[in-house]
């Protein structure tokens, strides 16, 4: 396997996961600003959980990439559970924002 071909694929994908982690951080920040006045400590707790998830997405992608290149084997796509978890978190975040907006209108 050409190292440049395999390395770049894994690196581009790891960078894509990291960009997604940053986008998730922005959306989490937006949700926190909206929710904090109404939910207080609950909003803080959810934000901490989301921050841990963001850290896992960011660092996990880096670790997977470095492990793949240090073992000089064919990198593997990180499919399975990670995509559905990320999609679910995005949906829950969206529903949280909708709930906040409904509460604000009252």
Partner 1 sequence: MESTPQTTTPSRPGTASDDLAVPEHDQRWPGWVYAAGDDPDYRFSFANERTFLAWIRTALSLLAAGVALNHIELTISPAVQSTLTSILVLLGILCAVASWWRWARAERAMRRHERLPALPIALLLAAAVGLIGTVVLTLA
Is residue 58 within 8 A of residue 16, CB to CB? The reply is: no
- Cβ closest to partner 1, residue 40 vs residue 94: 94
Please give the DSSP secondary-structure letter assigned to residue 65: H
Q: Measured from the CB of residue 66, what is the shortest distance to partner 1 in angstroms?
A: 16
Backbone angles phi, psi at 79, to 5 degrees: -65, -140
Site for partner 1 in 10-69 (CB under 8 A): 10, 12-13, 16-17, 19-20, 23-24, 26-27, 30-31, 33-34
Among 39, 51, 69, 97, binds partner 1 (CB under 8 A): 97
H or E segment and range at residue 35: helix 3-39
Angle of helix 3-39 relative to helix 41-70, nearest 10 degrees, comes to 170
Tell me the residue length of the chain.
Answer: 106
Residues interacting with partner 1, by CB under 8 A?
1-2, 5, 9-10, 12-13, 16-17, 19-20, 23-24, 26-27, 30-31, 33-34, 73-81, 83-84, 86-87, 90-91, 93-95, 97-98, 101, 104-105
């Amino acid at each position: 396997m050409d190292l440049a071909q395999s390395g770049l694929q894994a690196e581009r994908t790891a960078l894509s996961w990291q960009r997604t982690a940053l986008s998730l951080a922005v959306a989490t920040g937006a949700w926190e600003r909206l929710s904090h006045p109404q939910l207080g400590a609950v909003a803080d707790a959810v934000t901490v959980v989301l921050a841990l998830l963001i850290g896992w997405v960011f660092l996990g992608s880096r670790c997977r990439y470095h492990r793949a290149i240090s073992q000089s084997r064919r990198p593997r796509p990180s499919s399975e559970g990670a995509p559905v978890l990320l999609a679910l978190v995005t949906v829950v975040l969206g529903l949280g924002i909708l709930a906040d907006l409904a509460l604000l209108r009252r």
